[in-house]
Amino acid sequence: MAKIVTINGVGDIDLDKIAKLLPGRNGWDILQLGTQGRYIKAIIESWPTLERYDIYTPLRLGHFFGQGLVETGWLKYTEEGFNYSSEGLVKTFRLYRRNPDLAKQHARKPELIANTVYGGRADLGNTEPGDGWKFRGRGFIQLTGRYNYTKYGEAAGIDLANDPDIIKRDLTKSVEVAAAFWKTNGLNAYADQNDAVKVSRGVNRGNPNDAAAANHEDLRILWTNTALSVTQAPQNVAPEPVPTTPSLKPLQAGSRGERVRELQLDLEALGISTGGVDGIFGQGTKRAVVAFQQENGLPVTGIADAATITAIDQAAADPARTRAATLDRDNTPIFGPPTT
């Protein structure tokens, strides 16, 4: 049997290099005061916890980090947000697509929306009034529903059922609950096989052998491979900060690439439709930029200049204005654990 290579500590991984690979970021120095910095600090402080749950090899850590990056919207979110416009509700939830008048009544009422969407869901264990909001998605691996909060809180020795907000306030607890979820569901075995597909489905579908793809499975595989490049060979990854000059170039109609895709992702997270996240600055993206500029008192140009990009990035990092998880057609969290 081949010897399992272990890592002596988080210092062997160089999480700063993962930070430099996050969309729109250049490293730890600009993350210290934000949610991303809080998450990275929590991971560093959680090394003994990860060891306790047997997440200590390059493969296991890479898969764990990769899933967590996508689950949290690249470490931007600690909880699922529900500050939807009526258009966002119709686009996101089947229940509101069937009743657009109800969407108009519920728009911008987060607690009411959560209780409408998640309340009374026996599959989530939400049996009491207010459970939909109380047990909305939170954490490094987004837990949803009373059943999951109770099960994985008990696995971690944390009373999540009575204090679900603890994994929002204390991100070391968030990492610990995610590690308990990971081990309880046997995901180390699939990480050892370097099977990102089965790990993704185990996290998102609740069954590594599920025939259906995980939500955003392609992103989960991509960011697992990105994390693995750091945990397996940290010395070879991003030794120098990414130059900041290119990020100042305005994005406008005809622009293409990863920066456009990041802009689209942030706008979609704010409930402003771009017509598709494809990395192409077309008319849909231009209309979305115009809408954001109008709503935020910026010059209405339809061009994402430095001021607009900064404002969008700051808004997308604010849980009060965004969501950590959107839902697919079947009301399954795109960023989150199984709902069964």
Query: Are the C-beta atoms of 80 and 136 separated by less than 8 Å?
Result: yes
Of the candidates 45, 60, 55, which has an alpha carbon nearest to the alpha carbon of residue 11? Answer: 45
Residue 208, pLDDT score: 93
Residue 106 in domain: yes
Give me 256's structure tokens: 């293409």
Q: Collapsing DSSP states into helix, strand and coil, what is residue 2?
A: coil
Q: 308 and 195, same structural domain?
A: no
DSSP string, 185-252: TTHHHHHHTT-HHHHHHHHHTS-TT-SSPPTTHHHHHHHHHHHHHHHH-GGGS--SPPPSGGGGS-B-
Q: For residue 270, what are the CA distances in angstroms to 39, 64, 196, 311? A: 21, 27, 29, 12
From first to last of its 340 residues, what are the pLDDT tens digits of the chain?
334 555 665 556 666 666 677 776 655 555 555 888 889 889 888 989 999 999 988 999 999 999 999 999 888 899 988 889 999 899 888 899 999 999 999 999 999 999 999 999 998 999 999 999 999 999 999 999 999 999 999 999 999 999 999 999 999 999 999 999 999 999 999 999 999 999 999 999 889 999 999 988 999 999 999 889 888 875 554 334 444 444 468 999 888 888 898 899 999 889 899 988 988 999 999 999 999 999 998 999 999 998 899 899 888 887 767 653 343 333 444 344 333 3
- The count of structural domains within the chain is 3
Residue 6, pLDDT score: 58
Q: 220 and 273, same structural domain?
A: no
Residue 338 in domain: no
Residue 4 in domain: no
Q: 250 and 103, same structural domain?
A: no
Q: 74 and 168, same structural domain?
A: yes
**What's the N-to-C CA distance of the chain in angstroms?**
36
Q: Which residue range(s) make up the domain with 231?
A: 10-78+164-236
Torsion from C-alpha of 213, 64, 181, 206, nearest 10 degrees: 10
Residue 278 in domain: yes
Residue 40, pLDDT score: 84
Helix axes 58-71, 196-204, angle to 10 degrees: 50
Residue 59 in domain: yes
Residue 303 in domain: yes
Q: 198 and 173, same structural domain?
A: yes
Domain-terminating residue out of 191, 206, 236: 236
User: Domain of 275: which CATH number?
Assistant: 1.10.101.10
